Amino acid sequence: MSTATKSLDRLSEGRLVLSEDWLSVAIGLAVFVLALAGLSGTDFLGWVVTTSVWTDPGKALAPISKVYGELGGAGALIVTYLALLAILSAAAAALKAHVARFAIAFSAVFWIAYASWIVGSYAYLAAVTPADLQKFGIGWSLKLTNEGGFIVALLAGIVIANFFPRFAEWLREAIRPELYIKIAIVILGGFLAVTFASKLNLATSLVLRGVAAIVEAYLIYWAVVYFIARKWFGFSREWSAPLASGISICGVAASIATGGAIRARPAVPVLVSSLVVIFAVVEVLILPWLATLFLSHEPLVAAAWIGLAVKTDGAAVAGGGITEALILAKNASEGIRYQPGWILGTTAAVKIFIDVFIGIWAFLLAYIWTNHINVTRDKAKAVEIWQRFPKFIIGFVATFAVGLVLALTSAPATLAKLTPAIGEANTFRVIFFILTFFSIGVLSNFPKLWQDGFGKLAAVYFVSLFGFVIWVGLLISWLFFAGVTPPLAS
Amino acid sequence: MSKLEVQRELEKAHAEPLLPVEKQLIGWSLGIGFTLLVILALFSRFLPGA
């Protein structure tokens, strides 16, 4: 069983999924509330470390708030590490993980992941505009923006998984991409609310367009992938349903929810999930660059496409972050400056809309399976919809709602403090993204996957994903988002 | 589940023909999906930003 599989095995235990979901809500809300204390003049989170594009390593790091300037960059990094270590070790205790082992592994994860982020901010990798090149005194740059650090973190994780498998196994206790990305998404809600508040009509229209994503993922993708798996590849129903959900809906969570719904053996969706992670990594390494190459003048088509095509919340939302950085950079080099947040927000909205309906789709499948296919006494119950509902979405909705109300109703003086306060929370969101990217990389043990004899499963995934899912996703993203562009930065 | 068990499972997996209820599920999903997409695509023309 691969490292990925072992790690994902824990996700198949319903109680643990619930705990991880609720923990992400608690941690995400705590960061959001502490950040909002800034509105009353108390800066609780200003010590969190942020990284600028650099050529002089001594100037790369700094605390986000000048109030904590005395800490310096290295001090801010150490305080950030200690704070995250304390919070996440408490979370590990709540998850009944081995806390000491988690703390040691998390320390390695944090320092490697954040070092990757710092490397990604090196000016030769990250500088974008001619003015930036001149400012840093360099003649060229890969123009990845400092969010290219996500890719550096992902590659670092992949290298560890594939060349240092024993080290990857040693890190396993702290390799929790689902937890990290859910915390990030809860925090992201507040950031998106403040961004969207400036153009509420456009934001509303994006949400309505996002409904199309649900129709596509559940009704069209699922049916076609299920048919391909059953008819062309001859898989049984027990394998085909979790596989169809994994490829078409939302990766790991959907695959596990579907496995439970059709009463499959727990190992089936867990093995499918390990495939999902591998292919999500491949997509994140390819699609943002394709989107930038061909869709830089249709930024929201690119955003929706990433949300529809990349499976797993972590890879999709983080992929949206990379796509935003690359597309904004490309447009900036052509003199067009879009407001940040809209591309990432569109990708996140598409993904979250899809997530919301996992429970309902799983219930529908459970009803059909338990009443018409494998008729059992263990009938589908309506309560399963709630049990399978991804609870972190409650946290996202809460921060989004509070952020929106504050952005729309606050007096100008309060509003002036809102943006930096949300900025502090958003800095944590970026750190959790970095941890997610690195963790996904560490789960991507490519050779071991093939050793496990999953060739046929992988073939279905490959045919469905690259032959159908990403192209239909592109078509539908174009149909609904073409001509809709983010507001220009003021 | 070991490697051998997975391979054995995948080899024997072709024994299940598509049941009428599965065909209905696929057919209804695609039918409703494409119909809704057309309706939503038409509706989206009237949304701001289009």
Closest-approach residue (CA) in chain A for B25: A223
Q: Closest Cα of chain B to A315: distance in Å?
A: 26
pTM of structure: 0.82
Count of domains observed in chain A: 1
A170 within a domain of the structure (yes/no): yes
Domain extent at residue A176: 3-481
Side-chain-side CA neighbours of residue A482 (13 Å): 10
Count CB atoms within 10 A of the CB of residue B46: 8
Residue in A368, A31, A66 with CA at minimum distance from that of residue A182: A31
A224 within a domain of the structure (yes/no): yes
What whole-number distance in Å separates Cα of residue A309 and Cα of residue A476? 11
Q: Closest Cα of chain A to B8: distance in Å?
A: 10
Q: Is residue A192 classed exposed, middle or buried when 0-12, 13-18 and 19+ CB atoms within 10 A define those classes? A: buried
The kind and range of the H/E element at A84 are helix A72-94
Place of tokens 């939503």: B40
Residues of A whose CB is below 8 A from B41 = 212, 479-480
Per-position DSSP letters for A138-200, written without gaps between them: -S------TTHHHHHHHHHHHHHHHH-HHHHHHHGGG--HHHHHHHHHHHHHHHHHHHHHTTH
What whole-number distance in Å separates Cα of residue A195 and Cα of residue A201? 12
What whole-number distance in Å separates Cα of residue A403 and Cα of residue A422? 9
Domain extent at residue B37: 17-50
A489 within a domain of the structure (yes/no): no
- Say yes or no for a CB contact (<8 Å) between B26 and A235: no
What whole-number distance in Å separates Cα of residue A253 and Cα of residue A354? 11
What whole-number distance in Å separates Cα of residue A189 and Cα of residue A144? 25
- Say yes or no for a CB contact (<8 Å) between B15 and A204: no
Of A208, A220, A271, the CB nearest to B47: A208
B44 within a domain of the structure (yes/no): yes
- Say yes or no for a CB contact (<8 Å) between A208 and B10: no
Beta strand A61-63 with A49-51 is antiparallel
- Say yes or no for a CB contact (<8 Å) between A223 and B47: no
List C-alpha distances in Å: A245 to A4, A11, A267, A462: 18, 16, 15, 14
Q: Closest Cα of chain A to B22: distance in Å?
A: 9
Written as tens digits, the pLDDT of chain A (490 aa) is 333 334 444 444 444 444 788 999 999 999 999 999 999 889 999 999 999 999 999 999 999 999 999 999 999 999 999 999 999 999 999 998 999 999 999 999 999 999 999 999 999 998 877 888 889 999 888 888 878 888 899 999 999 999 999 999 999 999 998 899 899 989 999 988 888 887 787 788 777 777 877 888 789 999 999 999 998 888 889 889 999 998 888 777 788 889 888 888 877 887 788 788 888 888 888 999 999 999 999 999 999 999 999 888 888 888 898 899 899 989 988 889 999 889 999 998 888 888 888 888 888 998 999 888 887 777 778 888 887 788 888 999 999 999 999 999 988 888 889 989 999 999 999 999 999 989 989 988 777 666 655 777 888 888 988 888 889 899 989 988 888 889 998 7
A488 within a domain of the structure (yes/no): no
Count CB atoms within 10 A of the CB of residue A167: 13
Strands (E), A19-112: 49-51, 61-63
Is A6 an 8 Å CB contact of chain B?
A: no
Residues of A whose CB is below 8 A from B37 = 212, 215-216, 220, 476, 479
Closest-approach residue (CA) in chain B for A373: B21
B12 within a domain of the structure (yes/no): no
Residue in A79, A90, A88, A129 with CA at minimum distance from that of residue A106: A88
How many CB contacts within 8 angstroms connect chain A with chain B? 104
Residues 6+ apart with CB under 8 A from A10: A16
Q: Closest Cα of chain A to B17: distance in Å?
A: 8
In terms of phi and psi (left: phi > 0; alpha: psi -120 to 50; beta: otherwise), the region of B19 is beta
Count of domains observed in chain B: 1
In chain A, residues 219-278 whose CB comes closer than 8 Å to chain B: 219-220, 222-224, 226-227, 230-231, 234-237, 239, 265, 267, 271
**Phi and psi angles of residue A331, each rounded to the nearest 5 degrees, phi first:** -65, -40
A234 within a domain of the structure (yes/no): yes
Q: Closest Cα of chain B to A201: distance in Å?
A: 6
Is A353 an 8 Å CB contact of chain B?
A: no
DSSP A422: H
